[in-house]
């Protein structure tokens, strides 16, 4: 059974690792090719966009794919929608692997917003020294906020315009709560802006913000196509793949 595994996440690498030790699973992992030095999954890997829904559909046919796993990041909404459309056109089974989002705990001061534009509109009302941890895409939404100061953290340099008053910190997590608390204090941060990525790799900043009593602007995930089959963890998807192979 030949599977396309749309990746770029820890869960996708885990799934590729598990499947690599099993007979009868032929997995091709796919990465967008955005990160300069990506963490590669084991097994066959292809890199780069497919060329929209049509390109993906052609690729699935040309490569004899039987089943599709969308294990991309919860904010990678375009490729998830493209995968849903291409799989539906071809009648291929598709599952979306989506780790659960974060939930506020006692002491959290979160403002939930639907998207980046809403976060940029909201942040100035909440603070002046912003810790912006939204990855390298979408920073341009904050470029016009000339009054605020930003600590921008990403793995690779952000694309597009940047707010004029900023410090750029290139770093790859996971980070400890102690590291995050020190960063918040050193830079006199008074608000955190983050995407609701979920998971335990990047949640230390939330604990640090809670401990410091800082507000958080939490950007909601894009929604998945209606009727999508969604699973929360690697074990569930692996069970589903194994039963599909029987
Ligand atoms: P996106 O906005 O949903 O996708 C934009 C385009 O990039 C897609 O239309 C597709 O190009 C290509 N693409 C995206 N993921 C791909 C994949 N796994 N394999 C091949 N092509 C892919 O995605 P994004 O938010 O830019 O994310 C890109 C990648 O980074 C994903 O693999 C995602 O898992 C990973 N990632 C994203 C975030 C985030 O915050 N967005 C965080 C961590 C990791 P074509 O239309 O040409 O096929």
Task: Output the domain CATH number for residue 139.
Answer: 3.40.50
Q: Are residues 90 and 131 in the same domain?
A: no
Q: Are residues 151 and 128 in the same domain?
A: yes
- For residue 12, the ligand 1 atom closest to its alpha carbon is 34
Q: Are residues 197 and 233 in the same domain?
A: no
Distance 69 CA to ligand 1 centre (A): 14
Q: Are residues 93 and 135 in the same domain?
A: no
Mean pLDDT of the region 107-121: 98
Q: Are residues 22 and 84 in the same domain?
A: yes
Q: Are residues 91 and 8 in the same domain?
A: yes
Nearest CA to ligand 1 atom 35: 8
Q: In this model, does residue 37 exceed pLDDT 90?
A: no
Number of domain units in the chain: 2
Distance 165 CA to ligand 1 centre (A): 29
Q: Are residues 182 and 156 in the same domain?
A: yes
Write down the pLDDT at residue 156: 92
Contact call for residues 5 and 70 (beta carbons, < 8 A): no
Q: Are residues 84 and 152 in the same domain?
A: no
Q: Are residues 214 and 116 in the same domain?
A: yes
Contacts with 239 (C-beta within 8 Å, 6 or more apart), sequence order: none
CATH number at residue 24: 3.40.50.720
Mean pLDDT of the region 167-171: 97
Q: Are residues 208 and 122 in the same domain?
A: yes
Q: Are residues 67 and 134 in the same domain?
A: no
User: Cβ < 6 Å from ligand 1: which residues?
Assistant: 6-9, 30-32, 34, 49-52, 55-56, 72-73, 75-79, 82, 135, 137
Nearest CA to ligand 1 atom 26: 76
Q: For residue 146, what are the domain limits?
A: 109-219
Partners of 47 in beta bridges: 31
Q: How far is residue 60's CA from residue 27's CA, in Å, rounded to a whole number?
A: 13
Q: Classify residue 19 as left (phi > 0), alpha (psi -120 to 50) or beta.
A: alpha
User: Which residue matches tokens 């030949």?
Assistant: 2
At residue 21, φ and ψ (nearest 5 deg) are: -90, 0
Mean pLDDT of the region 116-122: 98
Write down the pLDDT at residue 21: 82
Q: Are residues 20 and 94 in the same domain?
A: yes
Q: In this model, does residue 36 exceed pLDDT 90?
A: no
User: Which has the minimum average pLDDT: 105-109, 151-155, 198-202?
Assistant: 198-202
Give the gyration radius of the chain's Cα atoms. 19
Write down the pLDDT at residue 81: 97
């Amino acid at each position: 059974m030949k599977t396309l595994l749309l990746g770029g996440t820890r869960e996708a690498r885990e799934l590729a690792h598990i499947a690599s030790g099993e007979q009868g699973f032929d997995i091709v992992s796919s990465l967008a090719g955005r990160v300069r030095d990506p963490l590669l999954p084991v097994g066959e890997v292809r890199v780069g966009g497919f060329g929209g829904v049509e390109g993906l559909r052609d690729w699935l046919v040309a490569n004899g794919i039987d089943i599709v796993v969308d294990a991309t990041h919860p904010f990678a909404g375009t490729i998830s929608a493209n995968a849903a459309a291409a799989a539906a056109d071809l009648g291929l089974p598709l599952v979306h692997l989506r780790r659960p989002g974060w939930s506020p705990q006692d002491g959290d001061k979160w403002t939930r917003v639907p998207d980046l534009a809403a976060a940029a509109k909201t942040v100035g009302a909440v603070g002046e020294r912003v810790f912006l941890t939204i990855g390298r895409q979408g920073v341009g939404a904050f470029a016009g906020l000339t009054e605020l100061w930003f600590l921008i953290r990403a793995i690779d340099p952000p694309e597009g315009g940047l707010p004029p008053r900023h410090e750029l910190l290139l770093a790859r997590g996971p980070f400890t709560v102690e590291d995050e608390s020190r960063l918040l204090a050193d830079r006199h941060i008074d608000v955190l802006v983050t995407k609701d990525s979920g998971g335990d790799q990047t949640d230390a900043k939330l604990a640090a913000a809670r401990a410091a009593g800082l507000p958080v602007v939490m950007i909601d995930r894009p929604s998945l196509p209606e009727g999508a089959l969604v699973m929360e963890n690697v074990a569930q998807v692996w069970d589903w793949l194994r039963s599909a192979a029987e």
